[in-house]
Amino acid sequence: MPPQRAICLCLFLCLHAAHAGPCRFTLRRPLCSLSCLFGAGKCKGSMQKVPSSESGGAPTAWEMVHLKDDGVESSWSTVSFPFVSGGDIGKMTERLPCDGVWLRWTHGSYNYKWHNAPRRQIIASLNGHVEASVGSGDTRRFGPGETLLVEDTRGEGHCTKSLDGVGRWSIFIALPDDGPLAWLFARPTTRELALAALAALAAAALAACALRRPSGAGGLPRRIGLIGGLAPASTIDYYRRINAGVRERLGGRHAAEAVLFSFDQASVIELEFAQRWEEVGEQLARAGLALAAAGCEALLVCCNSVHHEAPPPHTHTLRLRGRRGLEVVLDEPAARAELDRLIYDELTVDVVREEAASWFVARLERLLVRCDAVVLGCTELSMLLDAEARKRYAGVVFDTATLHAEAAVRFALREE
């Protein structure tokens, strides 16, 4: 077995590990047209056969596999629906309300990567066999006649793939947020319901924009929405990198189609310091709605720290641990505190001192003795590296802002 590889998160995002507890900012509907690709049929979870009673007699409840999340990682459990009435031919549970029923067919070669369920729902499989995996690495296989309660609407989600290569038929039953199943779910807060309304409006705005500007018509690039100002310097860097990437591929005077929503960073940082993350989430929803109305087909939040309240799916450091043979290593507490000070007191206001850059490079050198790679997880950190340093550390130091911008270019030009 090969030795584990170590990767270091030297950044300020590590400081936010202290913000324990799941993200409470949950949009109940997709914010953009891309999220709509999830669809009712894409979020198939795992299914398990209805068990017979241990004694061989009539069962007392309908037991169902439950795919849930804790705000970060998905996991399996089991729920029971007691039978409340019966007769000569069988028994029934209480009547369960629903918000709609879909009949779904999927091709036999599908392999859906990490995704969340777009809604709380029950899935009944009619034929075919699937394999589903969750963040803990637990994998289950399920087949015809089996049912599943899906509730992993947050965190890293799950992945599913076909096992037998046949087209699969299934039934999706959407569940409301109240009613007899309310005990299974956390009630949404007033703010979450307001955010859901914003998301619905955003989807409507996107649909209207799609009519005015058909996706892919005439080879037009996709329009990118940037949520920036957190801080302005990194937002400018995002904009420059995205346009440079488009120009590099298309040549001439080509540039990206982009719309920017720029925050007053002082007001958002004040909310961060006060741990008022739900209000940060509301601000992000407001920005997302404005960008969706402007016809943006994808949103980039040009700041890592506010991803604490960004809609899922998102990558969490816990997902790195033990999943791909990686070990996550943090810098010393004193160094992290100094890095935090540099980010907020200097880099966010465009102050880059030679002494600070030298200190940062020294920290990188020390970390690379212990680790195979270093991730710059704050969008301002690359400001501390000059061109020579970036070239020297290519392949071992990874700047999340650069990688994020490159992903936006690929999406805009339909390369993936």
Architecture of the domain made up of 191-314:
3-Layer(aba) Sandwich (3.40)
Which of the two residues, 273 and 36, has the higher pLDDT score?
Answer: 273
Global pTM reads: 0.49
Is the domain defined by 5-19+315-405 classed in CATH 2.30.33.40?
no
Across the range 368-396, mean pLDDT stands at 90
Residue 123 class from Cβ within 10 Å (0-12 exposed, 13-18 middle, 19+ buried)? Answer: buried
38-187 to CATH, choices 3.40.50.10420, 3.40.50.720, 3.30.230.10, 2.60.120.10? 2.60.120.10
Contact present, 118 and 102 (Cβ < 8 Å): no
Q: Do domains 5-19+315-405 and 191-314 have the same CATH topology?
A: yes
In contact, 138 and 102? CB cutoff 8 Å: no
Domain boundaries, the chain: 5-19+315-405, 38-187, 191-314
Mean pLDDT of the chain: 74
Whole-Å CA distances, 214 to 218, 221, 222, 295, 335: 9, 11, 10, 10, 50
At residue 209, the pLDDT reads 52
pLDDT in tens, 15-71: 233 333 333 333 333 333 322 222 222 223 333 444 444 445 678 888 888 888 877
> Which pLDDT score is estimated for 334?
92
Higher model confidence: residue 202 or residue 367? 367
**pLDDT grade for 241, boundaries at 50, 70 and 90:** very high
Residue pLDDT, tens place only, 162-215: 888 888 888 888 887 643 333 333 334 444 444 554 555 555 555 545 444 444
Per-residue pLDDT band for 243 (boundaries 50, 70, 90) equals very high
Q: Which residue has the higher pLDDT, 50 or 81?
A: 81
